[in-house]
Structure 1
Amino acid sequence: MSGLCGWIGHGASAADNRGLIESMAAPLARFDASAVTSAQGSSSAAAVAASAASTHVYQQDGLIIALWGNARAGDGLLHAQAQAEGLAPALAQAWRRDPGSVCAQLRGAFSLCILDETSGEALLAIDRMGTQPMAYQSVRGALVFGSSADAILRHPLTPAKIDHQGLFNYVSFHMVPAPGTVYQGQQRLLPGESLRFKNGAISKQRYWRIEFKEDHARQFGELKEQFIQTLRDSVREASTGAEVGAFLSGGTDSSTIAGILCEVGGKPANTYSIGFQAEGYDEMEYARLASRHFGTAHHEYYVTPDDIVAAIPQVAGVFDQPFGNASALPAFYCAQLARKDGITRMFGGDGGDELFGGNERYSKQHIFALYQQVPAALRSALLEPVIGNFPGGEHIKLIRKARSYIEQANVPMPDRLETYNLLGFYGHDKVFTSDFMAGADASGPIMSLRQSYAENQASSLINRMLALDLKVTLADNDLPKVLKACELAGMEVAFPFLSEEMVAFSAGLTAKQKLNGTKLRYFFKEALRGFLPDEIITKQKHGFGLPFGVWLQQHKPLQQLASDSLTDLKKRNIIRPEFIDTLVGQHLNEHAGYHGTMVWVLMMLEQWFRQREQRV
């Protein structure tokens, strides 16, 4: 929890650098008052703001090492040295032996910096899943870095300058995908990526990426036994050194984690759920079902519109760049409830969808991909002309559906994933001012998606989508959502599904074991039959979705907050005032749930600006 920051290539003395590094580290501890541990050289410094168990700092002979997180050494020499001397000193020896092999020897969630004043070289890295972020900026021969942009902005070489592309990407994706940020000159490391810096030059490499073993079929019984044991080991390891509890939405992931936690802990696990008094949004009955089934000590909280009004500025402020996933608010209230009970670490079920094939779009894209298996000559010469030119087809439901299917199926991946993008629906030229668009490329979001999709060459569609989602859905969106919501509540968080062993296990499953026709999570669900209640295995996915659009039409204080936010956003010359007027005056009344999402995204953008202006 909290973070890491520092620099190399700037400063005159350790004494001068101490005040600056402490100033940079201050924002990292502002929500949980974590202790700050720092080390300073003549031209470098680093600091970690975190609990003692998550802080590893070393300084000797011109070398500074700072590691933040629940990391551990893998097997071999590093592991033996870490056991004998501590992790940071062991990393120092590994750096001196072979700098290029350091990152691959680490396991768990971490951010790492190694600053070597003797050679003028630095190494930055984050964990394989991208759980703990790292941003950086190279300027005037120095490298400034931090797990939060708020720390970087406090360095005199890296003042804040908003990047139009980052804002455009935010409105498109509802978050800013890495490696981009919302600030000019700043970049972020990707999951499993390391950065080497020397003589003002940067080189990056992926020291790890997921590799699918798609043709390695094994017997179901053997796989099930390994799967359950890996789950137990992951939960047991993540439970060490803390009073743990678990988010429980009533879905397969959170229910599985809760059940395993009861099993390995030998007592009823503390589970926490959020409900909503809004039709179609409350899933508390499934959470209660899972709790009764496993015998957890269950705790509930019903979030109200007043809660949302109170939390919006706080949640906007905990993020160092705009973030529009509304589920961060219920996650915050859930973590806050657990904190009051003395829980210090919450377990999230995040990662299960992206490892085992649980998102609805996987089955939808499988159906679209089937069209490409029809011979091209048949498609172009017969099917498409007949369906496209069918007399009166626009009035026949079946023909309209066939046309829509063909139209989407002919869009290549990954562009097809964005066919329902809200910004694309409105049109960027209708949303953004022309002055703003002079500094942004409208093709930027889809180009970044294509680049991420192309990085993994798995032979099956499902695995290529999973690899994409490990980055875009998980590392860029869901993990920051939970981590920051928990940080705001003063809570640590762990993700047992994301252990190296569980990731490796999932990569060894065949494509059909993840998506069998249109059956999502095929192996996962079959392996857990008899462990999970059948009702949870067969339920539709939902989670802690927030009924913002519904409440916005009914709750005056929420309406006022949204109205004030959007009115002030008009003055920033980013969004066209006439678009905001149409969005609120027309679109929201047409479909509150759909268009309410854009109201939320723009409201949180303005709220982020307000909180940032108070900090900078």
Structure 2
Amino acid sequence: MSGLCGWFSREPAALPISQMAAPLWRFDNAPLRTATHSAGSVALAAGPDCARMYHEDGLLIAMWGERVDGLAQLWRSHGAQACAALTGAFAFAILDERRGEAFLAIDRSGTRPLCYQLVGRTLVFASSADSLIQHPGVCRDISAQAIYNYLYFHNVPSPDSIYKGQRRLQPGEYVHFRSGRLERGRYWKIQFHERETLGFAQLKDEFLDTVRASVRASLGGQGAGAFLSGGTDSSTIAAMLGQAGGNRARTYSIGFDVPGYDELDYARLVARHFDLDHHERYVGAGDVAEAVPRIAAVFDQPFGNASAVPAYYCAQMARDDGVLRLLGGDGGDELFGGNERYARQALFALYEKIPSALRQLLIEPLLFRLGGRLDIGLVNKARSYVEQALVPLPARLETYNLLQCYGGKNVLDPELFAQIDPSAPLDALTRWYWQTAGCSQLNQMLALDMQYTLADNDLPKVNRACELAGVEAAFPLLGDAVVAFSARLRPCDKLKGTKLRHFFKQALRETLPRAVINKKKHGFGLPFGHWLQTDDRLRALAYDSLSDLKGRHIVRADFVDELLSHKVAEHPAYHGTMVWVLMMLEQWHAQRRHGGPAASTQTRTGHEPRTCRQ
């Protein structure tokens, strides 16, 4: 993974910085570079993929992702506004002994993570929670609320962490520590301009030039390859990679021998169309069973997105081929309007345009009073439509949330449930959604997804899967210039009626094969529910994991029993998702108990160890 870690304090620490840094690159065994100052009261370590460290006149700087050159001067002249002048994917730490200040920040898309905790008068920070908890003052207790949030989102969204007292920076944020106090602020957030007046031809040329430039900038001065799913994003990146590199672009795809899950035909079509040096592999249930413990170990937070497995095998295939950097198409849906829910929510928004008097005095009484007595297909559909339309955004996005459908009390151990706020996940979604109040509904959803879908889910998935395989990931569609371009597009250019990615597809119509332009979105899904029914090894791993999880007093034993004995058989794909989420929660705990990076971590959520200081 590489990254950075350290602390800033007036009190010397006895911990060697190398001990705290070790978890950051435990998977690649790369050499460690460190710098310490003032008998350990200020310490900083940076991994081999970080830029050169700066250490002069009491100023200590490390940056992960971009060159450190010039940051010292920016800091001296602009202070907290220094990060606003930076571009690309980065995380950095500035420790300034002369001023008595420390400053942490991450990039605008949240590509590089950074977590921190204030321990007395000491600020401790690291690119990974596994590194942070090596500091003797940092609390290792698991947060009950974070467990609930994980089951709700299938990850632990920032700014929270799985550990009590830890915080994580969100995209475009910084932390400024001075005079013993911590200030958290935002130096950037996306600004939508919804009245673009340029014509299509001019916008198209600018768009293609901007994406090409971002692909070139993502190459990193080394031979790069690309993920290729056969969708519009990965196909665009693969095509432009070939143009930028001057050689046949090397691309990598994963397939599944299960009907409805395999998209290799589209990837092969793209490979032929652009004459790519294409590689592919089929992943089976046995591969998944073998990868699960490794996947759980590489994540510093519980992580329940099953597509991390195919991403890992794709990256491993590239690494075996000598590729050290893989370009992903992540971000295209969230920037240009490509998720099916955008079209679905646009349909619900139509109901709001009907005069309220007509809705409240005629439509709703007919459907819910008179219509409630009629079991007619069309009436039932209309009633369901209105019921959902009456739920405000963003709550409506979670209508089919698994944890909500089961009921938190029915899933969680009563002792743990008593410690959590069941409304917290939706409250967090609502706060983020309304940060872009005044914009169109679509752009509010895009801004929400840039945090919860990208920064908290898709980017960690690809980054960690690549880390496990020994490959670095890059995301050209999240280049700052591409993000700024997308923010200028009118909402109707992103979603025209219910047509997704309207401008994006029109701009690439002469570049991509017609079949790719017209295909429906599929994704990188894993047929886990199917394999859970058909593969003995994977089923044993899942069932044994859930059996062990019952002993942790996190999930109700009767819920686990009902899930495995009845629900999975009734609907393997739907209920299999919860089996996967719970399995990965147990595997995350198990990897840290059995020699993992945080082997001594307290996993009984209801207990407070004496070493915890908050």
How would you bin the TM-score normalised by the shorter chain?
over 0.9
Alignment of 1:193-592 (within 5 A): 193-391=173-371, 395-592=375-572
1:10 shift after superposition:
5.3
The CA distance in 2 between the partners of 1:308 and 1:563, in whole Å, is 14
| Counterpart code for 1:338 | A
Q: CA deviation digits over 1:493-526, x for unaligned, max 9?
A: 1000011110011011001000011010000001
Task: Give secondary structure in 2 for the equivalent of 1:382.
Answer: helix
Task: Give secondary structure in 2 for the equivalent of 1:532.
Answer: coil
1:216 shift after superposition:
2.0
1:393 shift after superposition:
5.2
2:146 to 157, 162, 166: 166
1:542 shift after superposition:
1.2
Q: TM-score, normalised by structure 2?
A: 0.95
Contact map agreement 2:80 2:176 (CA 8 A) in 1: no
Whose relative contact order is higher, 1 or 2, with alpha carbons under 8 Å and at least 6 apart? 2
Query: Aligned pair in 2 of structure 1 residues 430, 394: CA closer, same or farther (>3 Å)?
Result: farther
The CA distance in 1 between the partners of 2:107 and 2:259, in whole Å, is 40
Contact map agreement 1:393 1:400 (CA 8 A) in 2: no
4+ residue segments displaced more than 6 Å = none
1:100 shift after superposition:
2.2
The CA distance in 1 between the partners of 2:24 and 2:286, in whole Å, is 28
Q: CA deviation digits over 1:465-497, x for unaligned, max 9?
A: 000000000000000000000000000110000
- 2:3 maps to 3
- Report how many aligned residue pairs link the two structures: 594
Alignment of 1:113-192 (within 5 A): 113-192=93-172
The CA distance in 2 between the partners of 1:369 and 1:518, in whole Å, is 12
Q: CA deviation digits over 1:34-60, x for unaligned, max 9?
A: 332211112111111133xx3231111
Stretch of structure 1 that moved more, 472-481 or 57-66? 57-66
- 2:603 maps to none
- 1:111 maps to 91
Tell me, yes or no, if structure 1 residue 60 matches structure 2 residue 40.
Answer: no
Tell me, yes or no, if structure 1 residue 31 matches structure 2 residue 23.
Answer: no
Tell me, yes or no, if structure 1 residue 45 matches structure 2 residue 43.
Answer: yes
The CA distance in 1 between the partners of 2:371 and 2:537, in whole Å, is 52
Contact map agreement 1:393 1:399 (CA 8 A) in 2: no
| Counterpart code for 2:44 | A
1:64 shift after superposition:
0.8
Contact map agreement 1:58 1:65 (CA 8 A) in 2: yes
| Counterpart code for 2:211 | L
Task: Give secondary structure in 2 for the equivalent of 1:240.
Answer: coil
Contact map agreement 1:432 1:576 (CA 8 A) in 2: yes
| Counterpart code for 2:563 | L
Q: TM-score, normalised by structure 1?
A: 0.95
Alignment of 1:72-83 (within 5 A): none
Task: Give secondary structure in 2 for the equivalent of 1:272.
Answer: strand
Stretch of structure 1 that moved more, 415-424 or 36-45? 36-45
- 1:92 maps to 72
- 2:18 maps to 22
- 1:605 maps to 585
The CA distance in 1 between the partners of 2:74 and 2:243, in whole Å, is 38
Q: CA deviation digits over 1:137-196, x for unaligned, max 9?
A: 011111001110011100011031100011100000000011011100001111000110
The CA distance in 2 between the partners of 1:413 and 1:392, in whole Å, is 25
| Counterpart code for 2:52 | H
The CA distance in 2 between the partners of 1:471 and 1:451, in whole Å, is 12
The CA distance in 2 between the partners of 1:291 and 1:406, in whole Å, is 45
| Counterpart code for 1:436 | L
Q: CA deviation digits over 1:317-373, x for unaligned, max 9?
A: 000010000000000000000000100100000000000000000000000011011
The CA distance in 2 between the partners of 1:572 and 1:394, in whole Å, is 47
| Counterpart code for 1:204 | R
Task: Give secondary structure in 2 for the equivalent of 1:109.
Answer: coil
| Counterpart code for 2:90 | F
% same residue: 54
The CA distance in 2 between the partners of 1:441 and 1:90, in whole Å, is 45
1:2 shift after superposition:
1.8
Task: Give secondary structure in 1 for the equivalent of 2:278.
Answer: strand
Q: CA deviation digits over 1:413-468, x for unaligned, max 9?
A: 11111001000110001000110012211111111111111222242111010000
Contact map agreement 1:56 1:68 (CA 8 A) in 2: no
Contact map agreement 2:80 2:103 (CA 8 A) in 1: no
Q: CA deviation digits over 1:260-296, x for unaligned, max 9?
A: 1112222210000000011110111011011111110
Task: Give secondary structure in 2 for the equivalent of 1:196.
Answer: strand
The CA distance in 1 between the partners of 2:82 and 2:29, in whole Å, is 31
Task: Give secondary structure in 2 for the equivalent of 1:326.
Answer: coil
Query: Aligned pair in 2 of structure 1 residues 505, 127: CA closer, same or farther (>3 Å)?
Result: same
The CA distance in 2 between the partners of 1:424 and 1:397, in whole Å, is 26
Contact map agreement 2:227 2:329 (CA 8 A) in 1: yes
The CA distance in 2 between the partners of 1:410 and 1:181, in whole Å, is 33
1:119 shift after superposition:
2.3
Contact map agreement 1:212 1:458 (CA 8 A) in 2: no
The CA distance in 2 between the partners of 1:50 and 1:484, in whole Å, is 17
Query: Aligned pair in 2 of structure 1 residues 401, 6: CA closer, same or farther (>3 Å)?
Result: same
Task: Give secondary structure in 2 for the equivalent of 1:223.
Answer: helix
Task: Give secondary structure in 2 for the equivalent of 1:455.
Answer: helix
The CA distance in 1 between the partners of 2:217 and 2:340, in whole Å, is 31
Contact map agreement 2:139 2:164 (CA 8 A) in 1: no
Task: Give secondary structure in 1 for the equivalent of 2:586.
Answer: helix
Task: Give secondary structure in 1 for the equivalent of 2:391.
Answer: coil
1:88 shift after superposition:
2.9
Task: Give secondary structure in 2 for the equivalent of 1:338.
Answer: helix
